[in-house]
Amino acid sequence: MVGAVVRDGATVWSSGRSMMEGHGPDGNTQYRIGSLTKTFVAVLVMRLRDAGLLDLADPLEAHLPGAAPGGATIAHLLAHTSGLAAETPGPWWERTSGELRPELADVLGTEPLKHPAGRVHHYSNPGYAVLGALVEKLRGEPWGDVLRAEVLEPLGMARTTLLPQAPHAGGWAVHPWADLMQPEPLHDTGRMAPAGQLWSTADDLCRWAVFLAGGDERVLSAASVAEMRTPAAAPAGKDWDPGYGLGLQLLRRDGRLLAGHTGSMPGFLAALWVSVEDGVGALVLTNVTSGPQVAAAAADLVAIVADNEPRFPVPWRPRSSADPALLALTGPWYWGTTPFVLRLGAERDVELTPLDGRGRGARFRAEPDGTWTGLDGYYAGETLRVVSGDDGGVRHLDLGSFVFTREPYDAAAGVPGGVDPDGWR
């Protein structure tokens, strides 16, 4: 077993343990990471979206005819809400050669749908095989080659590969009732590889944890990675803590929101979590089919660091400059009689929040056209814009048709429905 912790963009701890004296793994030892592979495939799909080659709302049929019956969209596949089956038709794909499933039709089978598209979260390994095929169709190259060129090389992840490269761990099964073990088979899973074939190291996955927490403009923007961390599927079952974003598992543990993924393949278990708020990520890899609770162990590593060594506050620094027109927008605004306050964020971003801290508030991202787009809660995706009067001065703020004025029910600000001509009395 090997584990590691990253904090604020750097590895701060790593260690390995082995049953063999003097043979402990290190950060360069490869392990099979199972479904952590899906996070990489999801990033490739998001890159296609950001390049304008697809929309997440596109039906998959528009790009891969026959690959997703039932009207599933690309977003549905990313979030495991496509309704596709959890596994392929037999034999068990994780322990057999991909040569048994040469085409997508062999992966999907004759009855691939188990639920209506978009209705429930139903984890689907074939769904990610389909996404891998989508990447190949739109890029014109094998998905593994695309991954290498577009993601792994820019991030310096040279030890993340489709097939093992020495030094690597061997996969083992341990007898459940005796101290005995036997090796697990290793196969190239072919079409199913996007669901769980990658091998990686603790060192490489530390880089991946940093990326999943903050993005990297060479690969995917921080905003697009944050979109991946946003819940896109309702949790399944009675436990409403776990959720799923776009290729990322989400977990709330002791009040802390974690994003990442777990993984398992015969002979291997893996888990990686990041807490963006704490600036901490952790991972655990092991080469045994079952037993160690690696997901809990990785979450424990995050909590140990975040709870016992809380993050230092970022030192305050004044802005180097501010647009006078933008600065003039700050301060109190009123939605009816409810006072709000507008504050400047980073660059030209703003935050509009109720003055008493209760009710609907949001952060807004500046857009090139002079408007802002909501990032949080009720106003997520909604447009905030400045409305000017005939004299060119600011008349009011419009937020999804809600009017915010400088004074409560300002008669000169165009309040919908008008204002009583006798005013306040």
Is-contact 155 207, C-beta < 8 A?
yes
Is-contact 209 272, C-beta < 8 A?
yes
pLDDT of residue 250: 95
Sequence letter at residue 414: G
pLDDT tens column, 347-373: 899 999 999 988 899 999 999 999 999
Pair of tokens at residue 122: 């139903």
Domain ranges within the chain, ordered by starting residue: 2-308, 324-413
Collapsed DSSP state (helix, strand, coil) of residue 300: helix
For residue 254, what is the DSSP state? T
Provide CB contacts within 8 A for 117, sequence distance 6+: 68, 70, 71, 72, 73, 76, 81, 82, 83
| CATH tag, 2-308 | 3.40.710.10
CA dist 86 and 1 (Å) reads 28
pLDDT of residue 235: 64
CA dist 273 and 6 (Å) reads 10
Q: Which pTM value belongs to this model? A: 0.89
pLDDT of residue 70: 78
Q: Alpha carbon of 139 to those of 27, 59, 102, 134: distances in Å?
A: 32, 18, 20, 8
Fold designation for 324-413: Lipocalin (2.40.128)
pLDDT tens column, 281-323: 999 999 999 999 999 999 999 999 999 999 888 898 998 888 9
Q: Give the chain's mean pLDDT.
A: 93
pLDDT of residue 22: 80
Residue 397: pLDDT over 60? yes
pLDDT tens column, 144-192: 999 999 999 999 999 999 999 999 999 999 999 999 999 999 999 999 9
